[in-house]
Structure 1
Amino acid sequence: MSKEIEEFIEYLKQEAKKTLPYNAKNGDNNIFKVQRYEHEKYDCELSQMLSRDKEAIDTFKEVYSKKYFELKHPFKNDIITRAVYTNIFEKLGFYGIFFIDKDNKFPWILYWLDNQFIIICNEGIFSHWQLLYNWCNGKFSNGYIWTIRNFINDIIAELMREDITYKDIAFCISIEHTRPYHYFMDSLCWLYAFDIKQPISNNKMFFKPKQCSFSNEDFLKIPVKFHSIRHGEYINHMLSKVVNESLSNFTLDNTHNHDLTIWLGIPGERRTWLTQLEGIPSILKNIARYFPKIKVYVDGMTAYDGERIEVADNLKAFKAIKAEVDKLNLDIDMESLSGYDYRSKICYCSTCDIAISDVGTTALVPFRFCKKPGVIFFASETYGKEDIKQIKNQIPSILAIDASFLKSIANKENAFAFNFHIPWQHLYNLAAQSLEEIKGIKMHRLDVPPVELVAKQYDLEQELGIKIPIESIALFDEVKQELNKISKEQKSNKELLESIALFDEVKQELNKISKEQKSNKELLESIALFDAVKQELNKISKEQKSSKELLTQIISSSMILQNYVNNKNLQDQSIINQNKNLIAELLYCKEQNSILEQKLAPKAKSRIHNQLSYKLGQAMIANSKSIWGYIRMPYVLSYIKDMHKKEQIAYNEKIKTDPNAKLPPLESYPDYKEALKEKECLTYKLGEAMIEADKSPLKLGYLTIWFKCKKIQKECKNR
């Protein structure tokens, strides 16, 4: 090993010891930095790729056609360097390539992250601007810097162990990746663009082009990577190649036996449509009014080329959805394609009339490859926007959901994971619009409930364990408003006891109805529930319990009755009227049974817990227990801040229209003095410090936030 290589490894060791920017203390000059590669000043393959992209394509074609993989040094452009060692992060598709010149004097490393690259050499650590500042509005720059420093840590030991001097070592192409989207978009497209003739490492791949030769020999593995402003052109070329090869020998029997064939792409790995079990059957039921015989292919996880796998979570979701569809007793044939490879999926999707699919990887087959018309939805507007824009350029007739009908629920453990709510009625309406254009027919439309109402319905059903019609959610809101009004008034226990007597009257009326409709199991269940409610009322009158417990059970009863009224086709109209009267009486009962919340359920403490300082402090403590927690902390805190701001805006708007909804001052609560202690706790103080840092001029407060947090922690511990 040459002196220059040893010095380079020592330089890497020093870099690995440096402080990450977001952990730096005030006055710390030993900070790990990634600088911009000023490609305009240099004349090499990498600078050419960033400035003269069309010319660079021809240059890289030549580079990949040679026996040895050689590039000019990124700063000393008169020096030719050769790749002699690679380090592959297979799960993430990251590659580190070590280069050295024939005199072993100018070592450097090229670190590829999909279509982004990092240069590590004696001059420093460099990237082109997009990596650190443009991707997702720069939110993940700290995460990438952490990844780069970790890579340096990992590769040091490898370099010390390997023979990394200049030598003749042939290379083969490696395009392996565990993420299908990046495999096709960031690797396979360049394999076609460069018309690669070199052998390809025979590893598992999502698509193996038949034109390529594959090798199991121990070559140096070099990725096919590139950065181009005309990326879209090469992607389209790759997509058409993959589709043509997939369909070249395809035959599928009985493709014309159905009136309509639908491709359904529902996410599952990192995103879940929370109401899909109800939503998908409901969409199909409405479509079946116009197409009596329907075939539905349901997508899922995809196997490597030529393989079949079983994905338990996909099959479980599919069986649950199919069971609900089968209950409709309609001619709808559902088939799961979970665990098939991309060749097979492209063939099946080519027979479909329409696709309804999530964006991202799920959209590859229906929209990227097969370019089917239909409906595209997304779990988060942030991550779906660019993909939808690209897909719309290829399929102008594609219909995307209105973001006002989307409610995303972020996963604090994973910045890329989102569960979400979309009213299924909105998806049906878009599908109907698309089918009208495709089939030339006229289809009905549905009223779409607000997504907040859908989310509230789902939460209540999970909490109470019963199915609740959407109409009852509106009733719930009305009741809640009434209870809030009553909670501000002075209600006595005498009124509570009077309302118990009123419950007896309500039960008597229910018994009368049950004699007329003895077979109605649901009504009988509601009578039993009234007994339980009455018992709870008696307990509350003796134990002074919170009105929230009463609210849940009263609403459960009223919702069952509301469902009964809305969904049962009773022959006797007078019984319907009696039920409606009962609901009105039930609402009156709730008013009578509300107990002053200030007196029985003090909540000044909960008001403190809902303040931004406390929320931020909670998140800081929760995320300070691991390195991953520290990495995602800035994003979690940013999310909490944004959501708190939205809540405050919504609250201010609400009290403008309904002044009675304004919360009383904290001083008016019986537990006010107790609640003030919460402002002195570690959680609140940490959040308070974070807010002060954010409000400081030029955000300079962040430079000292670590010290302040340590000081606060010490003070709270000694208190």
Structure 2
Amino acid sequence: MENKRSRFNQLSFGFREAIRFVVDCDPLAGSKLLSDFYLARSVYLPHPVSESVETYCYKNEIVGLANVLYFCDGAGGHRWAAVQVTSFINVVYIDGDIYVIDGDGAGAVNKALGCIDFSIDMNNTVGRFGGFLIGHARPYHYIYDQMASLVMISRSLGKVTCARAQPLFISPGFLGISGVEIIDYESIEGEVFIYPCLVRGSSCFNKSDSEYLVSVQGIESSFRRYVIGSMCGQGVNRVSKEEINVYFGITGQKRKLINQVEVCSHLHKELSNIFAKVNIFVDGLTAKEGEKLKNVDDQNVFFDIVRELGDKDLTCLVGMGYHEKVAAALKCDLFVANAGSGCIAPLRLARIPGVLHSNKDLSTFPNEYNFTVINVDDSCVLEHGENKRPDARDYSILKENIFDLVCEVIKIEKNS
């Protein structure tokens, strides 16, 4: 069936008003609505097209990265579906039409749309709201879409039940989110669970006074304090005359710095002319909490670096979790990392100074910081390939350009 995409203002007035917080990027209004759902034990919304028709969610289904919510009226009619990926609702599906509320996560949305099926037997559904569905394959969306929203919801409710759909990158308790009871999603039948996502996190990062950003900074600080407390008195490293520790992010996946091995080797060589000892902590894909992740692509990049430098000054963080990575970053003087998820550990959670690089279109955390963070200028970036997606486009940067910025960070930190 060929679907057509319709505009937000074509939806019913009642529905638009109920979910306007997604479009207006107002997470506080969204947290009130989802808290009301929790207290009522029901997810209810006006019908997206038919005025004065109330509908409730009778089923949810996980499809890839998306959560599909199925709605109907009290008699089982007026059926429609909502797809959640990064917001409370990314798209609405009804009678073959797709209404885009938040255009993020198009790949996950399209996969979910292809799996929508209204043929379920309504007699086997009760529509009772069981709680919030947490867990994600990608750390950014888990921390900055799900957890940043959950902290606002839990603050309102005091206690919430969350169903774990898959292993978590960081448990809510370590992020300072209290009152969360976690159950396994696979053990639950007959209840509805929704993502706690309120608004897309990336749409709020430029709003320095937003409640969302306050929540983000709160969960980041909570985790940092926890890791520092678990380090048994080991101090945070600072640039000295004798030794320097560098946190260096790599990737064998999409949006990679093509000459990353050369950059790392050059960085070690040049810093060795300044410091008696140079230690490099090489980071790649991140494992879920309590697990170790094997990734051939990232490990091969690390082995390429070992072939260039030997292994005595290298520590491999590829495939470790955030507990281990942040502890390592807190021992480092600075980082060099991609401006996407690769900088979550050193920049956002450990909050150490450093250099961010990316292609010309993607920068995930456009904040100001009270420590030294320098972005490689777009004029120094050479993009590769024909991929039009900014989250997938590879690039290269002259090794000398990155080293110069590292030296600038060192200079500023020494003088601060």
Match among 190, 214, 224 for residue 182 of structure 2: 214
Alignment of 1:251-266 (within 5 A): 251=232, 259-266=243-250
Alignment of 1:562-641 (within 5 A): none
Map of 1:154 onto structure 2: 115
Map of 1:227 onto structure 2: 199
Map of 2:284 onto structure 1: 300
Q: Distance in 1 between matches of 2:113 and 2:263?
A: 48
TM-aligned CA deviation for residue 213 of structure 1:
1.8
Q: Distance in 2 between matches of 1:48 and 1:269?
A: 34
TM-aligned CA deviation for residue 425 of structure 1:
0.8
Alignment of 1:620-699 (within 5 A): none
Q: Is 1:381 aligned with 2:360?
A: yes
What is the SS of the residue equivalent to 2:160?
coil
Q: Distance in 2 between matches of 1:55 and 1:315?
A: 44
Any conservation in 2 of the 1:346–1:370 contact (CA below 8 Å)?
A: yes
Q: Is 1:337 aligned with 2:317?
A: yes
What is the SS of the residue equivalent to 2:361?
helix
What is the SS of the residue equivalent to 1:427?
helix
TM-aligned CA deviation for residue 221 of structure 1:
2.7
1:131-185 Cα deviation digits (max 9, x unpaired): 2xxx7xxxx9xxx4x87565444212xx314437762534232122211111211
Map of 1:289 onto structure 2: 273
TM-aligned CA deviation for residue 300 of structure 1:
0.9
What is the SS of the residue equivalent to 2:151?
helix
Any conservation in 1 of the 2:30–2:198 contact (CA below 8 Å)?
A: no
Any conservation in 2 of the 1:100–1:106 contact (CA below 8 Å)?
A: yes
Match among 329, 336, 359 for residue 356 of structure 1: 336
Alignment of 1:147-186 (within 5 A): 151-156=112-117, 159-163=118-122, 167-186=126-145
Match among 73, 79, 94 for residue 121 of structure 1: 94
What is the SS of the residue equivalent to 1:271?
coil
Q: Distance in 1 between matches of 2:97 and 2:298?
A: 46
What is the SS of the residue equivalent to 1:389?
coil
Q: Is 1:440 aligned with 2:405?
A: no
Any conservation in 2 of the 1:263–1:299 contact (CA below 8 Å)?
A: yes
1:257-309 Cα deviation digits (max 9, x unpaired): 97222111123211333333332122122112222123221101111111112
1:668-715 Cα deviation digits (max 9, x unpaired): xxxxxxxxxxxxxxxxxxxxxxxxxxxxxxxxxxxxxxxxxxxxxxxx
Letter in 2 for 1:208: S
Map of 1:42 onto structure 2: 14
TM-aligned CA deviation for residue 74 of structure 1:
4.0
Q: Is 1:192 aligned with 2:182?
A: no
Any conservation in 2 of the 1:36–1:127 contact (CA below 8 Å)?
A: yes
Q: Distance in 2 between matches of 1:269 and 1:222?
A: 30
Any conservation in 1 of the 2:37–2:129 contact (CA below 8 Å)?
A: no
Q: Is 1:201 aligned with 2:169?
A: no
Q: Distance in 2 between matches of 1:381 and 1:52?
A: 25
Choose between structure 1 and 2: higher strand proportion: 2
Structure 1 residues 152 and 317: alpha-carbon distance in aligned structure 2, compared to 1, 3 A threshold: closer
Any conservation in 1 of the 2:372–2:413 contact (CA below 8 Å)?
A: no
Map of 2:310 onto structure 1: 326
Q: Distance in 2 between matches of 1:243 and 1:412?
A: 36
Alignment of 1:222-621 (within 5 A): 222-227=194-199, 230=210, 231-251=212-232, 259-326=243-310, 333-378=313-358, 380-384=359-363, 387=364, 389-390=366-367, 393-395=368-370, 397-410=372-385, 412=387, 416-440=391-415
TM-aligned CA deviation for residue 341 of structure 1:
0.7
1:527-567 Cα deviation digits (max 9, x unpaired): xxxxxxxxxxxxxxxxxxxxxxxxxxxxxxxxxxxxxxxxx
Any conservation in 2 of the 1:176–1:183 contact (CA below 8 Å)?
A: yes
Structure 1 residues 269 and 251: alpha-carbon distance in aligned structure 2, compared to 1, 3 A threshold: farther
Any conservation in 2 of the 1:84–1:164 contact (CA below 8 Å)?
A: no
Map of 2:207 onto structure 1: none
Any conservation in 2 of the 1:375–1:431 contact (CA below 8 Å)?
A: yes
Letter in 1 for 2:8: R
Q: Distance in 2 between matches of 1:314 and 1:151?
A: 29
What is the SS of the residue equivalent to 1:155?
coil
Q: Distance in 2 between matches of 1:76 and 1:247?
A: 54
Q: Distance in 2 between matches of 1:51 and 1:165?
A: 37
Letter in 1 for 2:355: V
TM-aligned CA deviation for residue 352 of structure 1:
1.5
Structure 1 residues 259 and 36: alpha-carbon distance in aligned structure 2, compared to 1, 3 A threshold: same
Count of aligned pairs between the two proteins: 388
Any conservation in 1 of the 2:54–2:73 contact (CA below 8 Å)?
A: yes
Structure 1 residues 104 and 411: alpha-carbon distance in aligned structure 2, compared to 1, 3 A threshold: same
Any conservation in 2 of the 1:100–1:166 contact (CA below 8 Å)?
A: no
Any conservation in 2 of the 1:410–1:417 contact (CA below 8 Å)?
A: no
Q: Is 1:59 aligned with 2:28?
A: no
What is the SS of the residue equivalent to 1:302?
coil
1:448-491 Cα deviation digits (max 9, x unpaired): xxxxxxxxxxxxxxxxxxxxxxxxxxxxxxxxxxxxxxxxxxxx
Letter in 2 for 1:353: D
Map of 2:69 onto structure 1: 97
Q: Distance in 2 between matches of 1:322 and 1:255?
A: 26
What is the SS of the residue equivalent to 1:347?
helix
Q: Distance in 1 between matches of 2:406 and 2:73?
A: 60
What is the SS of the residue equivalent to 2:90?
strand
What is the SS of the residue equivalent to 1:399?
strand
Map of 1:574 onto structure 2: none
Choose between structure 1 and 2: higher helix proportion: 1
Structure 2 spans left out of the alignment, 5+ residues: 205-209
Moved more, 412-421 or 106-115: 412-421
Structure 1 residues 348 and 100: alpha-carbon distance in aligned structure 2, compared to 1, 3 A threshold: same
Letter in 2 for 1:361: S
Q: Distance in 1 between matches of 2:111 and 2:325?
A: 38
Whose relative contact order is higher, 1 or 2, with alpha carbons under 8 Å and at least 6 apart?
A: 2
Match among 104, 107, 112 for residue 79 of structure 2: 107
Structure 1 residues 166 and 71: alpha-carbon distance in aligned structure 2, compared to 1, 3 A threshold: farther
Letter in 2 for 1:351: K
Q: Distance in 2 between matches of 1:366 and 1:266?
A: 13
Computed over aligned residues only, the root mean square deviation of the Cα atoms, in angstroms, reads 3.2
Any conservation in 2 of the 1:84–1:165 contact (CA below 8 Å)?
A: no
Any conservation in 2 of the 1:39–1:47 contact (CA below 8 Å)?
A: no
Q: Distance in 2 between matches of 1:56 and 1:253?
A: 41
Q: Distance in 1 between matches of 2:46 and 2:12?
A: 15
TM-aligned CA deviation for residue 427 of structure 1:
0.6
Any conservation in 2 of the 1:200–1:215 contact (CA below 8 Å)?
A: yes
1:85-132 Cα deviation digits (max 9, x unpaired): 112123xx211101223333332222123125212235953223x52x
TM-aligned CA deviation for residue 433 of structure 1:
0.7
Letter in 2 for 1:276: Q
Q: Distance in 1 between matches of 2:90 and 2:219?
A: 22
Any conservation in 1 of the 2:63–2:112 contact (CA below 8 Å)?
A: no
What is the SS of the residue equivalent to 1:417?
coil
Any conservation in 2 of the 1:42–1:75 contact (CA below 8 Å)?
A: no
Any conservation in 2 of the 1:101–1:166 contact (CA below 8 Å)?
A: no
Q: Distance in 2 between matches of 1:147 and 1:436?
A: 44
Moved more, 354-363 or 276-285: 276-285
Structure 1 residues 322 and 124: alpha-carbon distance in aligned structure 2, compared to 1, 3 A threshold: closer
Structure 1 residues 414 and 117: alpha-carbon distance in aligned structure 2, compared to 1, 3 A threshold: closer
TM-aligned CA deviation for residue 430 of structure 1:
0.5
